[in-house]
Every structure is written in C-alpha cells, then in structure tokens.
A and B are shown apart, each in its own frame.
Chain A
Amino acid sequence: MESLIKHYNSLKQIIFGIFKRTVGQFILYKVSGAVFNMVDQNQEHKSDSPDLYDSADNFNYVLYRDRPEWKDVQPIAQDDGPARVVQIAYSTKFSDVYDYFRAVLKSGEKSLRALSLVTDAITLNPANYTVWIYRLEIVKHLKVDLNNELEYISNVIREFTKNYQVWQYRKTIVEMLNDPSGELEFTADILDMDSKNYHAWQYRQWVLTTFSELMQYELNFVDNLISQDMRNNSAWNQRYFVINNSDPDSDVINKELEYTFGKIRILSKNESAWNYLRGLLLYSENGVLEDKVRDFCSNLYNKGNRSVHLMSCLIDLTDADESTDPENVEKIKFALKLCFDLASDYDPIRRYYWAYISKDIELKFNFKEHDTKILLLHTMSSSALEKIPDVGIDDKGRYKYILIKVTDQNDSSNQSKYVVRGGQRFDFHGN
C-alpha cells in the first residue's frame, strides 16, 4: 500500500513537477533515485509562468547516461546513415534524452521513468509528434489521472501556444475525460495573449461543436473581442461560426446586418466587417438583403466615402443582379466606373483584378460601349517615360479611359509607370 501511494505521488509530481523550479528538480531526482536528490530549496520562482526548461536547463541536471537507474537501458543513437545531411548540432542534453527515448520507444517500456523521460523529450522539442504519441500510450497504459495530464498540457500550451501537437493532445485528453468545463476559460486565456492564435480558435470551435451546450455564451465572448479590436478577423470569423451554427432565421440575420452596418459606420475601411457582410448575404432569399446592403452602400458612397471595400461591394451587387430592366444600364455603367476608379486611384495594386472584373461585367451584360474601359498593356516602347504625362483626357466627345502601363525598353532599369488616357481615338479599340 505504501508503495502504491508513493507511486501515485511521484507520478503526480512528474506531471506537475517540471513547472515549478524547485519542485521540478525534486521530482526529477526522486524518480531518478536518492543520489540525485539535491534540491536547491532557496531558488526563487522568477515568475508565475512555468519554465519548461527547468528540468533540462539546470546546472545540476544529470544526463540520462549518468543515471544509475537507467543503467539497464542501452541508449540508441540516431541512425542518419553514412551521409551527413541536414544534421542538427544537437546539444549534449538533447542527444542524451533522445538516445534514451529511442531505446524506450523500441523496447516499448511504459513506466513511470519512461513518462518522466518523455516529459523531458517534450520540453526539448514539443513538435516531436512521436514523443506525444508515445506519451499518450504510456498515459493510457499506466491509467494516469487525466486531470493531472490536463494540467500538464495546459502548462505546455501556455509555453508553446502555436504548435499542432499540443492542441491535438489536449483534444484527446478532453475527449477521454469527456469534460469540457475548463476549456472555454483556458482558450480565452490563450487568446488573451494573442487574439488571433489560429490553433486556439480552431480548438475552441472543436470544443463548441463537440459540447454544443457551451455555444450559448459564445456571442458575448466574440462581442467583447470585436469591441476591443474591430479589425480582429478571427473574432469576426468566430461570430460567423456562431451564427451559422444557430440555424438563424431572418430576424437574426437582420440583426447581424444592423450590427455590421454599425461597425462599418465607425471603420468603413475594415475588410473584416465587409467580408462578414458578404457572408450574411449568403443567407439572402429573393434579394431582400441585397437591397438593404445596396441602400446602405449607396448612402455611404453618396456621402463621399471611397472605401475600396465599399466600392467593391457595390460592384459585386451589380454583378450579382441578374435583372435586365433598362434601369440596370445606369447601374452597370456605374459599376464599370467604380472598377475604373479603383484600378486607377483607390486600389491600384489590384488593377489587374479590377480589369478582369470590369471585363467580366462588360461581357456578362453585353455592354461593350462605355467610357471607363480598363486596358492594361504590359509594355510599350518609348524614349523616356517622363515625357509621357500621367493623365491625358480629351475634354470633348464620347470616349473611353484606358489605363496603360508603359515601360521604356531602351532603358535597362526596366522602369515603367501607369498612365490613363481618354479620347475619341480609343473608341474602336478591339479588346
């Protein structure tokens, strides 16, 4: 009985051990045997955050090859073959731990000391999935208290927040425990350090889908994050996830529409909110939502707002409108003008994209004659670029604008620039 209790205590300590400086050493040495039981009790904790390197970094750390209780194990050196390729200059500690890990993996030993070894191996390289697979097998075999294991993985994640293995391991443990009660709080903590941590969000969504009773609180959480930083796209995505999973009726969608309008009124150039708005449009039936969004956008535009996302949204609304009534002609002209304005002024880095959208609208509505054609030329020979004025537009007549890229081929610097031309001579350009 006594040995059983001892067994349990040392197990518990291995799991927590490495996170507390003094305790960490104590555990390591306790497991390792009395000879190494030298704990510097006076050492102070420098911070509350766990230091995973404790057990492996300390000055009185003892290599596995020097530990009597590991004497029975023959370490296995890494076999890279005869060639020297992408060889990492491992520290002595690293090689030592992994030489013993390879031996244990091969023999299949699932013991307390193996668990301790695995803990060290993880500390040295938490991305080693083989070690995690083996840890899980040991934990299952020894029937380790999963709550301790959960606390262990919490500490590892706090140190290594962006790593596939740690989150997958947590998922497995929580699945086995079938208890998600601490999970939202835990992920909230991690997101507090970095509100865009992709792994944490993905994990959080898994928790919410698997334990769906937790979903009811999520919108509040998201609201909070969006109000802290309206540009946090991960939070917007989470909002969509929540709404999408709630099987929303038109009331919910309308409420979301108003919410988003409100955010766009504050930050009209925030792509996250605009993308969310487009996401809501996927719920539209019979174009009701589109009308609302169109009114909202037109209103902003008429007030002089030239957010590229606003203009882009107006263009897409026209493009999606299949009606062929004559009123549409003006709308199409307007959309083509927006494409042109974006390509030449507001969003020049995407001019090739806008040229495509413009062309697409022309063809779709069979609208070949208009004043705002975007023409992109890759090269054009000229003697000196600077002699070409940036803008040249005739002030009379009906004509098109074209956006041209000119490159001086005689100039080895390969300089080029974009110019805009509008004039009657461009009327019959066949493109």
Chain B
Amino acid sequence: MLSRQKEMKKYLAVTRHKLDNESVETNTSESQNEVEKKIEKLFELFCSKAKCDPEVPIFYKQNHINYIKNHMFTLPENYECLDSSRPWLCYWLCQSLALLNCKLSVSEKSNVVSFLSKCQHETGGFCGGPNQMPHLAPTYAAVCALCLIGTEEAYAVINRENLYKFLISLRLPNGSFRMHKYGECDVRAVYCSATVARLTNIYTDSLFKSSAQWVIRCQTYEGGFGGVPGVEAHGGYTFCGFSALLLLKSIHMCDTKSLLRWVANKQMSFEGGFQGRTNKLVDGCYSFWQAAIFPIISELLESETQRPMWSMYDYQALQEYVLICCQNRYSGGLIDKPGKPPDVYHTCYVLSGLSIAQHAVDDSSCVIGKPENILNKNNPIYNIEESCLQKALQYFSMTEPISYF
C-alpha cells in the first residue's frame, strides 16, 4: 500500500507543501495549520476514491443548478443582510447559470428584467433594491445581470443617458469615484464605472480623466492593489484595479512584473486555491479574483514579447481545490473553504474561477475530472460569460450615442 504522501503525489496534479512554521507559532500559522489539516483529510479521501473511481473528482453540476434555481425566486431570512444588494443576487445567480450553460425560461428572464427595472433609479444608476438610493455596486451588478439575460427587453431597461449622469455625479476631481452619495471612494468604484460605461457604450475620456493615474497609486510595494493608495494589497481590489486599467486603456502604467509575482504567490502551496492577501487563508472566491489576472497577464505579455505564453499558475491544482474542497454536494452550492455553508456569492465566484481555470489551455485538455465538467467560457475582465458578453457588446455598439452634458 502506498503511503499517504505518495498517494497524494500520484492522484493530485502536483506535490503539495504545507506551511513550515519554523518552530515559531503565531496566530497566522495556527489558523493556517487548521485549514491544512481539514484539507488534507479531504485530499486523502479523494485519493482513496481515485484508486477505484476514474471519474473523481465529481462535479455536482445538477445539484448546483438546483441550488441556484432555489435561490432565484425566494431567499431565506438570513439574506436580510443582502437586502441592499438584490441586483447582486440576480447577477450572481445569472452568471452562475450562464456558466453552467443552463438557460432561464422566457418568463423567468422577463421576471428578472422587470425586477431590475424596478431597481433603476429615476435619476440614473441602479439601487440595492426598489425604493432605495442609487449605488455603483448594484449598478454594476444590474448591468451585468441584464447583459447575462441578453434579451432586447433586458438591454433596453438601461437608461444610458441617466447612467452617464449618475457616473458624472460620483466622479471626484482627482479621477476617483465615490460608490454613492456621501459614500466611500475606492478602486471598486472606478472599476464599476469603467465597466458599465464600456458595456453600455457611454464611455468618454472626460468621464475618466486622470482615473488611471489614481488607480495606479493603489498598486502597493507587494505588487497587488489595495482599495485606496497605501492600504494592503488585496485580491478583490487587485482585480478591480488591474481590470480598470485595462478598461481605461492604461495598462502600460502597471508594474506587471511585481503584480505577477504577487498574484502567483497567492496560490496556496498546499490547498491549491488562492488567498486574498499575503499570509491569509485560502478562500474559494479568490479562485476568480486572483486567477482572472493570469489570462490577462499572459495575453499582455504575449503582445509585448511577441512570443507564445502559457498560464502562469497551477490551473489544475486550483480546479482540484474547487472540486474537492468547495462543493456542498448535498444542498448544492459552492463555498469559501471546508466547514463553511454555501451562499450565492461564493457559488458565483467559485464557478467563475473554475471556468477560468478550465479554459487556461485553449484545447480545454486541462479539465479535471470528466470532460463534461467543463463550464462555459468566462470573460476575465467583466466576469460575464463570454458569449453573453460578446452579444451585449455587439448590441450596445449599435446604440445611438447619448447626448453628453
């Protein structure tokens, strides 16, 4: 019989290394050890199954579809804390379904569209729910959700002229944006503004004058981006900052080399998933926020150097983390890390990251488990399923230019 370690070596994509605490235990290393222990058990269980079942790891696709559909219409009381994020709920669910190649019926689509139209504010932008005030985050979520639904009716909901006015109203003189009236200003706001402006074809240079200069100040000495200049590099903000620079056509300002080093080091040596910050714990949602950086970096380097590039992270180990550690096979839905309950946020971002990892190689030969595990291709800049995104971009490129003020 093979030793445990040998088995792990045989059935997992790559040799795993645990944290070496160098005989100095701190809070950080203690919590890391706990996570590694849980994950090691799951890896061992997986290896013992892999010996006799060539189909593992199984992707519980249908369970996840059921989970998403269950949450599409009604959510339990513990979702009250997301009462100001209801367009997000729509977006998370629509994106998950699109990646799973699961279509909504005509009436279901129409229902989502009619609800999102109720969330649009009369002065522009979308609100966290009907009768609330407009906010950039639900605006991003609503626009993306409408693009994912992809019907004429859905696109037509967006009042582009008012949306432009809303964006202008949040712009600060230094090029940064607030999330809402009196609201916080951080790199999410630039990303959300730039995304919806590009998607709906209302982008102007004046709207984003010196925004890139502000965003680049958020890149820290570590290489990732923080929420505002000075704060710690973080996976979510790094995605926003880096993608915003792309959308602002200013990617040349980014120190790509240090970003690549930082993000490559956020993949956990044992778990295979990503952490959000240096010396923090793995979390399934960073399977998207961090991994989405890689295809963009590879593409950038390819055009810079004129030679073929490959994916510079372990996309198979990432898939193994998702499939072995992040699925709730009973209720469906995906999770942060073993021991956590599923929720619609993690379901969306774990699936979004899984799709990125499965498409890391062009011929999709790198899908872990059965070939049918493959999800639809995701766009790493917008985080919208690729075919829906292309259709939406095509639609809005044909729209009339709005009159600017």
Contacts and interface: CB of A to CB of B under 8 A. Distances in A.
B67 interface: no
Contact of A105 (B81, B131, B269, B278): B131
Contact of B278 (A78, A240, A271, A418): A271
A22 interface: no
A88 B79 contact: yes
Nearest to B265: A271
B317 interface: yes
Interface string B228-264: 1011111000000000000000000000001011101
A153 B383 CA distance: 35
Interface string B71-95: 1111111011111111001100100
B50 interface: yes
Contact of A414 (B118, B220, B258, B369): B369
A349 B14 contact: yes
A129 B135 contact: yes
Interface stretch (B20-28, B202-210, B323-331): B20-28
Contacts of A198: 227, 231-232, 234
Contacts of B74: 84, 86-89
B131 A79 contact: yes
Interface range on chain B (Cβ under 8 Å from partner): 35 or more
Contacts of A78: 129-131
Interface residues of A, number: 90
B267 A350 contact: yes
Q: Specify which of A127, A136, A229, A352 lies most central, judged by the most chain B CB atoms within 10 Å of its CB.
A: A352
Interface string A114-139: 00000000001101111011001000
B158 interface: no
A209 B272 CA distance: 38
A111 interface: no
Interface string A156-168: 0000000010011
A155 interface: no
A378 B366 contact: yes
A349 B20 CA distance: 16
Nearest to B92: A86
A279 B22 contact: no
Contacts of A312: 261
A285 to B, nearest CB: 17
A164 B269 CA distance: 32
Nearest to A195: B27
Contacts of A271: 265, 278-279
A238 to B, nearest CB: 8
B64 to A, nearest CB: 17
Contact of A80 (B130, B228, B312): B130
A21 to B, nearest CB: 22
B368 A414 contact: yes
Given A91-B80, A269-B22, A416-B13, A352 B277 contact: no
A375 B114 CA distance: 54
A204 to B, nearest CB: 9
Interface in A93-128: 94, 98, 102, 105-106, 124-125, 127-128
22 contacts: A79-B118, A80-B115, A83-B114, A86-B90, A94-B80, A98-B83, A125-B84, A129-B183, A133-B133, A168-B183, A195-B27, A198-B234, A271-B265, A271-B278, A272-B278, A272-B279, A278-B221, A351-B314, A363-B305, A376-B310, A413-B50, A418-B15
